[in-house]
Amino acid sequence: MTASQPVRPITILIAALGGEGGGVLTNWLISAAAKLGFPVQSTSIPGVAQRTGATTYYIEMLPVSGGGSRPVFALTPGIGDIDLFVASELMEAARAVSSGFVTADRTVTIASLHRAYVMAEKTAMSDGRLDPERLIQAVGDNSRQSILFDMDRAARESGAMINAVMLGAIAGSGRLPIPLDAFENAIREDGKAVGNNLRGFQAGLELVRNGIAATPDSPNKRHHPSSSALAAMEREIAAMPALAREVVIEGARRLVAYQDVRYVRLYLDRLNAMRQADERAGAEGRLLREVARHLAVRMSFEDVIRVAQAKIDSSRMARIREEMKIAPDQPFAVVEFLKPGIEEICSVLPPVLARPILGLAQRRQWLGNVYWGMEIKSTSILGFLRFWFLAKLRRFRPSSYRFHEEQAAIESWLTLITDAAKHSPELALEITECARLIKGYGDTHKRGQTNYQMIETRVIRPAIAGTLDRARAVDAIASARTAALVDPEGEGLANCLAAIEQQTAMRVAAE
Amino acid sequence: ADALSNLSSPGVIGGVMIILGEDYGEGASVIQERSYAFAMKSSIWLLDPRPDLPSIVHLVEKGFELSEATHAPVMLELRIRACHVTGEFVAKDNRRAVHSGLDPIAGPPRFDYGKLAHPPVTFLQERRKIEERLPAAQAFIREHKLNEMIPGDLADIGIVVVGGLTNSVLRALHRLDLADIFGTSRIPIYVLNVAYPLVPDEVKEFCAGKRAVLVVEEGHPDYIEQTINVELRRADLQTKVFGKSCLPHAGEYTSEVLLNGIASFLAGAGPSGIDAAAIEARARGLTKHKPAADKAVGALPPRQPTFCTGCPERPVFSAIKLAQREVGPTHISADIGCHAFATFAPFSLGNSILGYGMSLASAAAVGPNMAKRPISVMGDGGFWHNGVITGVASNLFNKGDGVLIIMQNGYTSATGLQYMPSSKASRSGAPPGMDVEATLRSLGVTWLRKIRSYSVATMAATLKDALRTAERGLKVIIADGECQLARQRRVRADEARMLERGERVVRMRYGVDDEICTGDHSCIRLSGCPSLTVKPNPDPLRTDPVASVVESCVGCGLCGEVAHAAVLCPSFYRAEIIRNANAWDRAMHRIRQAFIGWLSTARAVP
């Protein structure tokens, strides 16, 4: 070992997802280093990972050009032995940290902040997404230096693949003893999509060099516009507790678009009653706010009229154009997939007609079996008209079967909340939150309703009646709600409810 | 294994080399085979070269010479990373083959019964393997220095390592300050580029005068460690042999495993000249950050591979899930191929995977003992590989029952897209001309349905029928849909050409109405498409994320099919975007837009 020779190679670990061009990125790095005469080697785990699985590439280089002894390069990355770590996705960055590859004494981490959700996060019945802040914190804390930005966005904006942005970021980090033009030449010599890749490279380079400005994604929440018809009511809302005001306004605007001013009046009347319950319970507006949120959603239940309203909404086509990148005068068609069954049709009929039909359908086993599948082109004149006429049924909605059913269910839920608030605001809040279970269409909606009813009968009502310890009931409702969202088959909820009842029985026996 | 024995028993005249992929860790998609056992039982020499390109290239050349010189086949083993290593080596000049298609051998070799794997000559061959070929191989290995000795100043200990793990051992020693990056080591190392057979003289020379050696070989059992122990016993050498006492029996020898293994060897061997305790502490220090980092990140769900966007096999599993909702769960024999991804979420379907094309054969034992008919899934590649005989012919011959789904996507080897007998093309261009359906009919399959794989509702109905029908016997469903990866490669190029020529092209893409989606994700649980993901809910009053179709969608139509077949929700829509639209398209579009614009008054949706 002579003093002039480096003690160890530079080690680079790249984490990417299948199809992101991690192999191409590796080749660019190899070719740039080899051009400078550096001994360099890369390895990878290809194969099944290319289909959206996670994969890694590993590179070692000795930044000394020309002759000398041949270094012995390792083929696998070592725990705590990585100088530069690059990840195309936040969770994969965190995965390398948790495996111990990234260390605070050595590793410069360059990672994208965007998330490509894994299956478990996507299939959850409610929100299965991981907390990104925790991942960002762990990556930052365990790196010597961390360079984090949304590479996916940079790639989209520059029209390149994410690997080019990653190369630009590597160049910009200055961690490798390779000049900029060597990276650019590697892209040029590769000869594929050179223009796009150079733009992506430049985007990554500039973001890292000029410092990453915090440009948050545009807020994605779409609020309803104010309506002149609501002027008087909005003044009334202004007198409500500050904590709840914003939600109530949003709810009122939602419901005037959904139905009419009279319906908003009903919403506010219900909330005024709840406001008193909130005050009595000392919930300081928290209960009112949560009831306002869920009540507005429940009152704007998803019937076929609402679907029709949404499908022909003029802002919708503008959104589709934007999402699909359709030019202003480019012809396009939109085909909707609908499959109404007997229940959907009965939902818009008056109860006096709907009930006998549903009864007959039940006896003949048509429910859940008889559906009419349709594909309707909403951009055609006839297709549009079908939705338009359906949407026009809005004025008859208050006399529909579904409306009656929903209002009865809402009243029953509100009564439970009011009763619970007499005992404990926490209990009332938990019952309010159970509205989350009821959502969707068809089977999903039915499953949600059934789950809610099970929790109501076996936990909520016993708690209000006092047969279940109320302090414990708060936790019990929360865990039953979580369990109901674990699996669509309902096994989780069944087990959870059984456990709650068993505990209660044991306590009773012990007393 | 039969073929290996029958190849090696008569022996070879020219050089024969079998290239093996073997892996003990992260990249393995099959079970660890332990080729070492096959090498021993068939008397095939096993090369395990140091994983840098000059060494691999050298061993390939020397391996052929070894085979030729000893009349035994050789195997060259490469671990997965060595298969995909980039680096450099100095190439030699090409040499024209003595015989080839251009310069064919005039006639067959003279009849020689002694060259057949057939009794009684096999008994003589058996003796030759042990008495002639083995010593010849050992002499060749020694003479040509195929194994390497790396000297070191800590002469009272040593490491014996198979070639494939040498770089990892040297890196571990480097991190413990016992080697430099150019491969100079303080501990003497004996590198077994030939893992089988061992050369007893070399082993004795290396171990003589050492108080202890460490044997580094992955897997179980510890073949090399055992052999070295025996050789030392025979030579009456008292060198202590460490191996699986310091290193694990199972799993890959990663850098962390080797750091700890070497440190514990040093502590056990107690060589003179170094502070073993300090080295052990150093090894621990290099990895001690890991538990805290792991805890800081928290539990991470796995990111498993899945079917490509638009894959024709995904819809079949959506249909199986839907059929099982009504029929109830059935035993499913899975197989090797992309369709094995259905064993992962969101499908989690499959009770066994026996081998390539083996699903139906493995279901033969299951069917008679199950209340419901089992389903076997097989690819067309697996069908031709062996499913046609071990599965279909055997089932018909034994009057079996059950349902077989054949995924006819036209290619084999997953994303390798290799041609097979029923491909629509071949390397030479012309289709090979064999057909799965015609083959099944000729074998005598009577209950046979061919269904477009994307037709989820039809597929589910056919499956239910196959599972419920009173008719006994094998029921085959061919799920027909070309591999989307191959299709996209073709279609994208075609479309690019058409666009360039100014021709009309309609692009299909699916979307989810985020106003209508309520965030239950049933659609994802029935599809798992990479293009179907979630995004934050735009509704200010809701929090559950909504489904979303991202730009990578290829418009395969599964979203719409599933929404219909499972009666999901009215959120899905298909956009048909016309590029290079003609005058008629434009005129109609303008008329429709004008009409719709006139009818709609700007109104918000709840």
pLDDT tens-digit series, residues B373-410: 999 999 999 999 999 999 999 999 999 999 999 999 99
pLDDT at B88: 86
Backbone angles phi, psi at A103, to 5 degrees: -130, 150
Chain A residue closest to B529 (CA)? A119
Q: Determine which of A8, A43, A133 to mutate to test the interface with B (most B C-beta atoms within 10 Å).
A: A43
Q: Coil, strand, or helix at residue B358?
A: coil
pLDDT at B335: 96
Burial track B385-403 (b if 16+ CB lie within 10 A, e otherwise):
bebbebbbeebbeeebbbb
Under an 8 A CB cutoff, do B534 and A81 touch? no
Q: Determine which of B29, B57, B86, B524 to mutate to test the interface with A (most A C-beta atoms within 10 Å).
A: B86
B90 contacts on A by Cβ (under 8 Å)? none
Establish if A372 touches chain B: CB-CB under 8 angstroms.
no
Where is average pLDDT lowest: A203-212, B20-29, B140-149, B247-256?
B20-29
pLDDT at A6: 61
Under an 8 A CB cutoff, do B181 and A9 touch? yes
pLDDT at A66: 63
Alpha carbon of B522: minimum distance to chain A alpha carbons (Å): 7
Pick from B513, B544, B602: which is nearest to A127 by CB?
B544
Alpha carbon of A289: minimum distance to chain B alpha carbons (Å): 11
Residue A15 · residue A54 · CB < 8 Å: yes
Pick from A70, A94, A334: which is nearest to B297 by CB?
A94
Number of helices (H), then strands (E), belonging to chain B: the values are 22, 19
In which band, very low, low, confident or very high, does the pLDDT at B584 lie, cut at 50, 70 and 90?
Answer: very high
pLDDT at B444 over 50: yes
pLDDT at B605: 44
pLDDT at A1: 39
pLDDT at A3: 40
Question: Could you give the C-alpha distances from A386 to A314, A375, A389, A476, B169, in angstroms and in order?
Answer: 15, 12, 5, 46, 73
Amino acid found at A502: Q
pLDDT at A193 over 60: yes
Sign of CA dihedral A126, A128, A134, A136: negative
> Average pLDDT of B187-215?
97
Read off the pLDDT of residues A244-302 as tens digits, 9 standing for 90 and up.
999 999 999 999 999 999 999 999 999 999 999 999 999 999 999 999 999 999 999 99
Question: Could you give the C-alpha distances from B68 to A68, A129, B14, B44, B122, in angstroms and in order?
Answer: 36, 60, 5, 12, 20
Under an 8 A CB cutoff, do B541 and A91 touch? no
Cis upstream peptide for B221 (omega within 30°):
yes
- What's the distance, Cα to Cα, between the start and end of chain B in Å? 68
Surface-to-core class of residue A323, CB atoms within 10 Å of its CB (0-12 exposed, 13-18 middle, 19+ buried): middle
Read off the pLDDT of residues B63-76 as tens digits, 9 standing for 90 and up.
999 999 999 999 99
DSSP per residue over B52-106, as a string?
SHHHHHHHHHHHHHHHHHHT--EEEEE-HHHHT-B---PPPPP---SS-SSS--S
Alpha carbon of B508: minimum distance to chain A alpha carbons (Å): 10
Under an 8 A CB cutoff, do A76 and B515 touch? no
E strand or H helix that includes residue A492: helix A491-510
Q: What percent of chain A has pLDDT over 70?
A: 95
Under an 8 A CB cutoff, do B570 and A337 touch? yes
Q: Coil, strand, or helix at residue B288?
A: coil
**Which positions 449-508 of A are in contact with B (Cβ < 8 Å)?**
488
Establish if A125 touches chain B: CB-CB under 8 angstroms.
yes
Task: Pick the closest to residue B485 from A19, A152, A162 (CA basis).
Answer: A19
pLDDT at B152 over 50: yes
Q: Determine which of A8, A31, A44, A79 to mutate to test the interface with B (most B C-beta atoms within 10 Å).
A: A79
Under an 8 A CB cutoff, do B602 and A314 touch? yes
Under an 8 A CB cutoff, do A126 and B519 touch? yes
Alpha carbon of residue A439 to chain centroid = 16
> Chain A to chain B, count of Cβ pairs less than 8 Å apart?
370
pLDDT at A217: 61
Alpha carbon of B357: minimum distance to chain A alpha carbons (Å): 19
In which band, very low, low, confident or very high, does the pLDDT at A444 lie, cut at 50, 70 and 90?
Answer: confident
Establish if A390 touches chain B: CB-CB under 8 angstroms.
no
The chain-wide mean pLDDT, for chain B, equals: 93
Read off the pLDDT of residues A348-364 as tens digits, 9 standing for 90 and up.
999 999 999 999 998 98
> Average pLDDT of A157-177?
95
pLDDT at A213: 64
Chain B residue closest to A382 (CA)? B592
In which band, very low, low, confident or very high, does the pLDDT at A511 lie, cut at 50, 70 and 90?
Answer: low
- CA B367 – CA B395 distance, rounded (Å): 11
In which band, very low, low, confident or very high, does the pLDDT at B80 lie, cut at 50, 70 and 90?
Answer: confident
pLDDT at A152 over 50: yes
Q: Determine which of A26, A48, A366 to mutate to test the interface with B (most B C-beta atoms within 10 Å).
A: A48
Sign of CA dihedral B269, B270, B274, B275: positive
Chain B residue closest to A294 (CA)? B541
Establish if A31 touches chain B: CB-CB under 8 angstroms.
no
pLDDT at B606 over 60: no
Under an 8 A CB cutoff, do A329 and B579 touch? no
Sign of CA dihedral A137, A143, A146, A149: negative
Q: Determine which of A10, A41, A109, A119 to mutate to test the interface with B (most B C-beta atoms within 10 Å).
A: A119
Q: What percent of chain A has pLDDT over 90?
A: 77
Read off the pLDDT of residues A212-230 as tens digits, 9 standing for 90 and up.
765 556 668 889 888 888 9
Read off the pLDDT of residues A4-42 as tens digits, 9 standing for 90 and up.
456 789 999 999 998 888 999 999 999 999 999 999 999
Read off the pLDDT of residues A380-437 as tens digits, 9 standing for 90 and up.
999 999 999 999 999 999 999 999 999 999 999 999 999 999 999 999 999 999 999 9
Alpha carbon of A44: minimum distance to chain B alpha carbons (Å): 6
